[in-house]
Structure 1
């Protein structure tokens, strides 16, 4: 951290020409915002056939976010779950788990080693220009996993300046724990440099994120003392680097991007008081993601684009036995305690946009994906090849009716993929202020390598993959009504009402092998459903911006597959959110309040008398209060409080195991409590 801080302070000393940063009013989901996810070309929110949500870099800055989870945790439909055993976090969207969410970085899929979408928090928050969220299946456009929706992380490009330098330092407590010298709390630093001239551009960035853990026992605590602390958050350290090099002119655009990550999660299991030896573990992740993208405009009627990407992901488990009496250590010989899992993913995608006339456009495309894996817990060195061709059209029947049908044709080297995936999106402009969208889409999720070929046995687990899995399929219906009737200079109001219904077939879940009840293996579940609706309102009045949203989402009670059980078909959960920002132009500052009420998460479990019992994970309130101020020229300061209501754990009334690393009835870990934030950012440029 000292290196980054000295760089930032040095910049303050030698720069004489700097940019004065005005506080951005960050008009949430402005109808003139341009989006690209799933579009034929850059498109305004109002004109898109999809219901797209956007989160800008300015809003991310207001939140003092250090990862994508902190950006999304007060958005409707998002829930996060923490695995304190592995030190990871997963996400769900609109009642569907993370494996049904497609996470993209500039349109290229992120690679994950397991069901949990760890990659979401392995993206450098400082590189993000905006986040685009499309709810509902996008499988025709983006292929597998895009059943619940797509989260597309759009990264920054060099600006119009010849040269710019940005530095950021942020310190944060972890609950009431903080110590700069021993690493307690959170410590974040970033430095980026960009240059552009005559169409050429270069961007370089590096970040360091350190989290010292929370509620940990002392380094010399015994095994019993460590185990007596139930909610322990593991220390984590990340080093991230990225570069982006590109060239563009009026008709041609090409760029290359490289992202690198090294992440360490540290585990102390306590020492044995009889021999003063203890087990120490480190989970190390290396991620290298490359992408090359290009676009060429042949004419006003024809444009071609292509994407080539390669991701290398390694995840190592290293376990040592540390002797505290003489400070020596040796590798642990325990089963599964030394492992390196390797995942490689290659993608090539080419699309064309052809405008037949002002009423009809076409988008044909091809896509190739190759996934490979190896490791102690992977059976063999499997490879999956996936081939796809897709075609969609945008038909404007009149000025107020836009229809987009689409088809995707699939061939997979390992399993029988759905041969054809259809979709139909429509948009009707009912009045100049009122838009109605109606869509049907079929989605699918290919069985992942880990589900087909996983092979892991230790003292507590016997888990084997299932090479006979079928692809998950879904039929989804979405509708939304958007009204933007008040669009004055000082007063704006917009409201969107939306609903959805999803029916899943062959959903993949872990279950007991019918051939051997001691083995856990992935199996296809006959069906699953989600349904619900949201209401979102946006108000802008002079210097005040406020949002108010409500969602009501139902998840299918799969116990009903047993005809002898009587229970409700859905278990319903409520969410309410509000984000408020007030800007003080005279002092070039702002105050922001980000709030969400997350209702209890109900489900049904089978009781001993073969009846369905309602169990719940408790409800909670979360809120962040942030202040942002431009001090002088290009120096900004932010300060605030996160997790204002100090929520650390959620009640849990379940009686059965909820997963491989959870215990029925135990409280569910949510956060490390209320934290206090202070940060500085410096932005310099040369025209």
Structure 2
């Protein structure tokens, strides 16, 4: 009998621990993006996805793209010419996605969101993704949604000092050399301290990739994935009291991408020559933020940033026999530099009128400047805005958030008023319904207005007469706590969206015979789709599976009614993590199926214009990681990425992008393997 009682007590204790673990996990799911103040994920009027630092660690990621590439509704496209990548969210390209670093918009030189892979992955605490326009809160460029990168602040667990170090070595397909050249190499050191209200931290990271070359390539100098070397530095200092917080941070990036072009024979010397192009980027980001709780009813927040960005192209010729290297001056784009800077200031006041009503007025100022060899003179775009939102909760089951934004822009005619309304209804203790309408807009970027790029392969001009993009968006979601017990929690979420766009900005052909392009406004566009997500969670296992069906507008359907107005693409993803506490280890698997994408292009056959159907083929992606605690302060990680060994996918689509035509599209560099050591000390 005593033995039976002991067994029952052990089971009860384990059950209580599991329940406490789940409750603690739920309490930790706090979001800040677009919120009046930090609050639990379930209480937010927005449908927010979060990616924790634990997931980032399990992904063995060296950049943000590695973390996001198996997320539902997110796809990346790679530009082999420039060595950059861009994101698409729910069928909309990166130019419609707002990238924030602790709430501050990051500067990009053009429509491509290069900044996403220029953030130090080792400093990230979590990533928050909000789908749908957030123009009232964050202004232009947030038509598709917002990705907010939240960085670590101070030292966890109320300790005074933390020291973190990381070394990760990864193959690029079958290519690898230890710590340099072939393969991918990541090293990081981070030191943080806090005491007596003060905090300080510093971090240095090196990301090095030797690029990758298809084994069948005929030219040994050319690599399909360019070698890249990044140095990232961060320093921050802050001061906190119970009612006041202030901090300053400086981030620095130096990036060097090397493009090895085809070799050729110099007809004068008969020497074998090669052209190397280096794309050199330097980025300084200064950021300051303050929070002040004046009273129990009034909070003030303010943030300011200054970003200085430059990208330089340097081309050289190399004598493959003697090694002699000289500047290449045979085309205008061989030696050039573009510089951009951005100044932002944002301030909000939160006033709690009562337990059921809160209001938040604010101001938002964005000053952008660009100049360089490819930009006609020095150009500026200044944006000034006033905005206000309210949260009204007439009952515990209802939360409504209307908002308005008033904007003045120095270059284009901004919408006089930008409205939005979000609502959350707790139908019962297991069902949460969210509905939203938002009017969105995107300002033309400096690059789209004034950019000029002419060389042997490009002929692109900006268009100073561009109009701002506009959208009307409707979104909804239903979250259902399908099963809850002391040890398990299961959630199912249904979502849907529909976006109507006007004046979408895209590259248009002005002279097809000579590949000349400029930026133009497209009269209208549309996206729609639905999602289904399931997640299950316990102390030992976290798993999720999702499905998305996303439709993108076919503009040729306006001329030919027999063509479909929307072209649909399926996506499936799944993740699972299993914690083996007895072994001090965990196993994680990540999977994504990207369905084929279709597109109609106008073409001429026998002198008659017809619509030609093109497709980008589907592919599967999967990663597997294992982590093991070796000792108190040291963890080991091993695994494999791109298990399906995807290198490229076939495409018969020709678009208006100057770098995108029919033919194979690069996706990955084949199946790769990694090993990492992570050191973490706190005291």
- TM-score, length of structure 2 as denominator length: 0.93
The 3 A distance-change label for structure 1 pair 410 and 577 is same
Match for residue 330 of structure 1? 326
Match for residue 637 of structure 1? 636
Query: 1:164 and 1:203 mapped to 2: Cα distance?
Result: 9
Does the aligned pair in 1 maintain the 2:22–2:538 contact within 8 Å? no
Q: What is the CA deviation profile of residues 218-255 of structure 1, one whole-angstrom value per residue up to 9, with x for unaligned ones?
A: 9xx9xx7359x7x7111000000001110010110000
Tell me how far 1:485 sits from its aligned partner.
Answer: 4.0
Match for residue 485 of structure 2? 488
Does the aligned pair in 1 maintain the 2:22–2:539 contact within 8 Å? no
Match for residue 5 of structure 1? none
Does the aligned pair in 1 maintain the 2:503–2:522 contact within 8 Å? yes
The total of aligned residue pairs comes to: 654
Tell me how far 1:518 sits from its aligned partner.
Answer: 7.0
Query: 2:401 and 2:76 mapped to 1: Cα distance?
Result: 33
1:125-524 matched pairs, under 5 angstroms: 125-159=121-155, 160-180=158-178, 183-215=181-213, 225=219, 232-273=224-265, 274-333=270-329, 334-513=331-510, 519-524=516-521
1:560 alignment partner, SS class: helix
**Which is further off, 602-611 or 495-504?**
602-611
2:520 alignment partner, SS class: strand
Query: 2:173 and 2:42 mapped to 1: Cα distance?
Result: 42
1:144 alignment partner, SS class: coil
Query: 2:23 and 2:81 mapped to 1: Cα distance?
Result: 40
2:263 alignment partner, SS class: strand
Match for residue 624 of structure 2? 625
1:234 alignment partner, SS class: coil
Match for residue 7 of structure 1? none
The 3 A distance-change label for structure 1 pair 196 and 235 is same
Match for residue 5 of structure 2? none
The 3 A distance-change label for structure 1 pair 460 and 174 is closer
Query: 2:521 and 2:25 mapped to 1: Cα distance?
Result: 39
Query: 1:526 and 1:542 mapped to 2: Cα distance?
Result: 52
2:58 alignment partner, SS class: helix
Q: What is the CA deviation profile of residues 502-546 of structure 1, one whole-angstrom value per residue up to 9, with x for unaligned ones?
A: 000000011134999974211110000000010001112452221
Does the aligned pair in 1 maintain the 2:140–2:441 contact within 8 Å? yes
Match for residue 94 of structure 2? 98
Match for residue 3 of structure 2? none
2:361 alignment partner, SS class: strand
Does the aligned pair in 2 maintain the 1:566–1:612 contact within 8 Å? no
Match for residue 11 of structure 1? none
Root-mean-square deviation (Å): 2.1
The 3 A distance-change label for structure 1 pair 542 and 359 is closer
Does the aligned pair in 2 maintain the 1:27–1:545 contact within 8 Å? no
Match for residue 548 of structure 1? 545
Does the aligned pair in 1 maintain the 2:507–2:657 contact within 8 Å? no
2:562 alignment partner, SS class: coil
Q: What is the CA deviation profile of residues 82-123 of structure 1, one whole-angstrom value per residue up to 9, with x for unaligned ones?
A: 111111111100000000000000000111112211110100
Q: What is the CA deviation profile of residues 604-652 of structure 1, one whole-angstrom value per residue up to 9, with x for unaligned ones?
A: 2224343333321111111111101111101000000101111111121
Query: 1:515 and 1:623 mapped to 2: Cα distance?
Result: 39
1:667-682 matched pairs, under 5 angstroms: 667-682=664-679
Does the aligned pair in 1 maintain the 2:459–2:515 contact within 8 Å? yes
- 107, 112, 116: which is aligned to 1:116? 112
Does the aligned pair in 2 maintain the 1:234–1:266 contact within 8 Å? yes
Match for residue 10 of structure 1? none
Does the aligned pair in 2 maintain the 1:648–1:669 contact within 8 Å? yes
Does the aligned pair in 1 maintain the 2:517–2:658 contact within 8 Å? no
Match for residue 646 of structure 1? 645
**Which is further off, 35-44 or 393-402?**
393-402
Higher relative contact order (CA 8 A, sep 6+): 1
Match for residue 9 of structure 1? none
- TM-score, length of structure 1 as denominator length: 0.92
Match for residue 8 of structure 1? none
Tell me how far 1:324 sits from its aligned partner.
Answer: 3.4
Unaligned stretches of 5+ residues in structure 2: 1-20
Query: 1:189 and 1:262 mapped to 2: Cα distance?
Result: 15
The 3 A distance-change label for structure 1 pair 579 and 182 is closer
Unaligned stretches of 5+ residues in structure 1: 1-24
Tell me how far 1:321 sits from its aligned partner.
Answer: 1.7
Query: 2:72 and 2:326 mapped to 1: Cα distance?
Result: 48
Tell me how far 1:26 sits from its aligned partner.
Answer: 10
Does the aligned pair in 2 maintain the 1:264–1:282 contact within 8 Å? yes
Alignment of 1:579 with 2:579, yes or no, is no
Query: 1:192 and 1:35 mapped to 2: Cα distance?
Result: 25
Does the aligned pair in 1 maintain the 2:276–2:316 contact within 8 Å? yes
Query: 2:77 and 2:514 mapped to 1: Cα distance?
Result: 28
Q: What is the CA deviation profile of residues 562-588 of structure 1, one whole-angstrom value per residue up to 9, with x for unaligned ones?
A: 2x4530010000011110011111111
